[in-house]
Structure 1
Amino acid sequence: MQQSRTVEFDTTAYSLFAVQKACHRFSNQASFNVQVVETEGVSSIKVFLQLMNGTSDEELTRLVQLLNNEALEQQLREKIRLQTEGVRNLILAHAFSKTGLIVPDGAAPAA
């Protein structure tokens, strides 16, 4: 008998992208159906997961715990990426300015 469970994430705490990335992380252990649902004006992300191999309830519980931890990690990574985007772009612009790949406005490209 295949084990399955539904896990719900609050859209005020988790993005759909973070939850999808978390599900992808465990796609070798289970199949996932991710849906955004709205109930009484409140949105949530529901994940229906079904184990591919194994039938124990302990395995399913462990996977749900890992999924919750991974969703949190992905959400934090997304937040950090957004917070550091300006600095990353500045570093990249500086690095590319030294290569000759980017030509200042009005200047002839290097041959």
Structure 2
Amino acid sequence: MLPETVATMNSAEIQFDLKVFTLDCVKRAAYRVTGGSSVDIAIEGGLAKCVLHFSKPISGEQADRAIEALRLEVLDQDLRRVVAEETASVRNAVLALAFSKSGLKSVD
């Protein structure tokens, strides 16, 4: 029986449609998943092309997991952005009330 060989990879690629996700969300997500890799981001025809460069060769299965982690993190960052936008007025009102009762005086 021959030993099983495992193909290794140094990089993997995924693209995100910038009509669906903002570039900021893609950047934030890339930063969050850079544990064992670095990420290059390029804009091509309305897509954010992300290339993950792994610090050491990994299996195709590990590369798939890294891509899935980035995909999920982009979705998470996008949902965080939506929630922040939807709750901005309430958050600002709460902060304004808190600071109005803080006793801080402005320096004129």
TM-score by length of 1: 0.82
Gaps of 5+ in 1: 104-108
The answer to whether 1:20 aligns with 2:23 is no
Identity of aligned residues (%): 31
**Aligned counterpart for 1:75 among listed residues 58, 75, 78:** 78
More strand per residue: 2
Partner of 1:35: 42
Are the aligned partners of 1:31 and 1:51 in contact in 2 as well (CA < 8 Å)? yes
Are the aligned partners of 2:10 and 2:54 in contact in 1 as well (CA < 8 Å)? yes
Q: CA deviation at 1:26?
A: 1.3
What is the root-mean-square deviation in Å for CA atoms of aligned residues?
Answer: 1.6
Gaps of 5+ in 2: 1-7
Determine the C-alpha separation between the residues in 1 that align with 2:22 and 2:56. Answer: 28
* Aligned residue pair count: 100
Partner of 1:106: none
Secondary structure of 1:100's partner? coil
Determine the C-alpha separation between the residues in 1 that align with 2:105 and 2:70. Answer: 43
Determine the C-alpha separation between the residues in 1 that align with 2:19 and 2:42. Answer: 15
Partner of 1:95: 98
TM-score by length of 2: 0.84
Determine the C-alpha separation between the residues in 1 that align with 2:104 and 2:74. Answer: 38
Determine the C-alpha separation between the residues in 2 that align with 1:81 and 1:66. Answer: 22
Determine the C-alpha separation between the residues in 1 that align with 2:57 and 2:101. Answer: 55
